[in-house]
Structure 1
């Protein structure tokens, strides 16, 4: 709101009307090509200030609200994923990256795991209080369980499944980012890959292997099926069956 009041520094807040807000939107927000999320946050802040603090009615409907950009998730091929996961000799580093991809985990979910989260008898991973304060489970393949058993025997984690250098402290986000960065260098992948790309790749590869979207939604912990449906736009399985008219020339 400080930017808004600086724009109208020659006016008292009580003097600002709906036409002034439209001018601010056009001459400041739209001219500077600020992001849609910033624009929406500013409109909401203006509405809150004038509606509650000044108890002055402002017709927000007349202010342009931009549509959010519809960006597609970034996805890696299975070959690229394999190269990343096999790049580390360090067993802990390989186990962390493998678990993120194999269970579609968010970074925070991985770092919050405790050793008890692994149920080897049932072959599942219990993800407690994930985003939205919801628990969920993800299947653990025998191949992944073998890797995790090797890791557990070597590192014997106590409080957290993946602990930092200090005893009983979780592995840090910064260190985990560094683990991925090193893997990309070793795998010779020159893309701006983030840890979330592994989660996107997991969902897309599940879809391409024929897994129902409803199951993928549960595995990822999405509230809405619309969030999960975005992966249908990045899956190449159906596209590969389309014959280009170029081939008939």
Structure 2
């Protein structure tokens, strides 16, 4: 490990960046330096722009996929190398705004019915019932399920923050049935490697197999269940601020995006067209036979 890489790693550890973020940043910087065959200390804004163009035009990366690259280079040059560079030196492409595809209540039910494994069903039901990220679901411990207070403790979610979410009575029944069958000890959903939780990839694969079995044509990922959780809460009258706390969003604007896809609050709103007086009926021309 080079001294510069070690310094960057120490800087990220001091700031308590998530382990996945640290790994991603190191990979991004390593790719950047290998492309130019020089130390990043010898590279500057011109090389950064050239690298981003390369990623967009040669590797065909979407604008949204460049975020980790920008974040890694900003951290390296501004924090570790202490370069006084502006945001313009790290041009971030504007991402197209796309709304997530939301499953209906019936589709969620059909999806769950298509999961043959009790363990996988319990995992994905937990993701939906509590609105958890897949990384949060797989890292749940048995002790995080508090049936006395009817809450689930989410340890070190995104942004390294703990939070509590509701424990659905119906979900508690599912988890008790699963526990009686599997008897997990530490991790609620253990993986194939002893002492380790189930992997996110394994949950994603179970999700895709269930989607195929269900016959649902919409794309479904574990995160789709989190989107459905927030949208369904909003459609049934839950306050946006409360949803923000349950989702663990830092900003209310992140939660507010669900206002654009909640049909009961958007599409169910009466159009002003319906308030206009009914106009006189439009006279239809007589049938063609009457012209002869």
After TM superposition, is the score higher than 0.5?
yes
* TM-score normalised by structure 1 residue count: 0.77
Higher RCO (C-alpha 8 Å, min separation 6) = 1
Cα RMSD over matched residues?
A: 3.8
The answer for the alignment partner of 1:154 in structure 2 is 181
Aligned counterparts of 1:180 and 1:199: Cα–Cα separation in 2:
13
Aligned counterparts of 2:261 and 2:168: Cα–Cα separation in 1:
25
Pick aligned residue for 1:98 from 106, 116, 125: 125
The answer for the alignment partner of 1:118 in structure 2 is 145
Shift of 1:68: 3.0
Secondary structure class of the residue paired with 1:96:
helix
> Is 177-186 or 125-134 further displaced after alignment?
177-186
Pick aligned residue for 2:197 from 167, 170, 178: 170
Aligned counterparts of 1:95 and 1:23: Cα–Cα separation in 2:
46
Which segments of 5 or more consecutive residues in structure 2 lack a partner in the other structure?
Answer: 1-31, 283-292
* TM-score normalised by structure 2 residue count: 0.67
Cα separation, partners in 2 of 1:211 and 1:31, compared to 1, 3 Å? same
Pairs aligned (count)? 240
CA deviation map 1:170-223 (0-9, x unaligned): 112222122112211221112321110000110010011110111100001111
Aligned counterparts of 2:254 and 2:122: Cα–Cα separation in 1:
28
Aligned counterparts of 1:103 and 1:59: Cα–Cα separation in 2:
40
Which of the pair has more CA radius of gyration?
2
Cα separation, partners in 2 of 1:186 and 1:66, compared to 1, 3 Å? closer
The answer for the alignment partner of 1:241 in structure 2 is 269
Q: Is the 8 A contact 1:17 1:58 kept in 2?
A: no
Which segments of 5 or more consecutive residues in structure 1 lack a partner in the other structure?
Answer: 7-12
Aligned counterparts of 2:107 and 2:153: Cα–Cα separation in 1:
27
Aligned counterparts of 1:217 and 1:172: Cα–Cα separation in 2:
26
1:69 equivalenced with 2:133 (yes/no): no
